[in-house]
């Protein structure tokens, strides 16, 4: 999470605007590709039963094109 105390006033305004826009979009049920990764990762971290289910269900994960993989993708796996 971003610590706004470390940002200057202009950056704080920008980050707050982006956050408000994201919240508005999420309330409407619209997710971007990155949102799906972030929400999925948060759910797996916060809900141990969900993590256990996926660990049981999928013993191995094959990642093609690893050089193009986002860091969050490797965190999820």
Instruction: State pLDDT tens for residues 36-47.
Output: 888 888 888 888
pLDDT at 66 over 70: no
Give per-residue burial for 6-31: e unless 16+ CB within 10 Å, then b.
Answer: eeeeeeeeeeeeeeeeeeeeeeeeee
pLDDT at 1 over 60: no
Read off the pTM. 0.54
Query: Cα separation of 35 and 31, whole Å?
Result: 6
């Amino acid at each position: 999470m971003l610590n706004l105390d470390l940002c200057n006033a202009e950056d704080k305004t920008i980050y707050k605007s982006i956050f408000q826009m994201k919240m508005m979009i999420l309330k409407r049920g619209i997710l971007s590709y990155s949102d799906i990764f972030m929400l999925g990762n948060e759910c797996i971290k916060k809900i141990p039963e969900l993590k256990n289910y996926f660990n049981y269900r999928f013993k191995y994960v094959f990642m093609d094109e690893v050089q193009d993989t986002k860091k969050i993708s490797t965190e999820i796996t």
